[in-house]
Structure 1
Amino acid sequence: MDYQLVPTVVFSHPPIGTIGLTEPQAIAQYGAENVKVYKSSFTAMYTAVTSHRQPCKMKLVCAGPEETVVGLHGIGFAVDEMIQGFGVAIKMGATKADFDSVVAIHPTGSEEFVTM
């Protein structure tokens, strides 16, 4: 069993999902000049037309000239369900370009990770 890059979720309201390095950890490991962070904020489509709109925030932490994704973090509706699939990609060494090459499924929250 490989315990590197374990996807982790907090089943809270809103749910939280994370895998890999945080932004400060990536900067400490790779240096600030070698880290690029992509962020997205939006309202979950599931709640967009209700009076109880749920904000979502997502972040990709990339490192090196290839922009290898070394961290992925999110808070918001259904993040707890999304994180597992992205965990596979990150364990395989996916880059920002790999994420960009995926056709987004619309309307979903997970499309934010591939359209940043």
Structure 2
Amino acid sequence: MCIQELSTCLQYDLPIKIINLNNSALGMVKQWQDMQYDGRLSQSTYEDSLPDFVKLTESFGHVGIKVEKPEDLESAMKKCFELKDKLVFLDIVIDEDEHVYPMLEAGMAMDSMWLDKKTKTWE
């Protein structure tokens, strides 16, 4: 996603729902560095330099919702989908070390994937 999409959605009145899983990093880049380089990270985390996505979304006239606690997720999702005629940006804060599995490496067969940080199906 890039910021221009928020402008395009406003221009064409597109009431889409955007869900941002916010781990304050380039998620898959950070995951790959963590898995392949024993947690040595380079230019993949942002912490304090990220924008306030809710304010950014609202500056385009859309609805922004930030979810910081798991127990608030259900009500935020309900509100998001009740606003059928509005673009809603859900900024869901997740653990900075959260990984996505299963993970398929580029160029590998569909049965050759990571099931977790240490388990590969092909070894």
Q: TM-score, normalised to structure 2's length? A: 0.24
Question: For the pair shown, which has the larger CA radius of gyration, 1 or 2?
Answer: 2
Q: TM-score, normalised to structure 1's length? A: 0.25
Higher relative strand content: 1
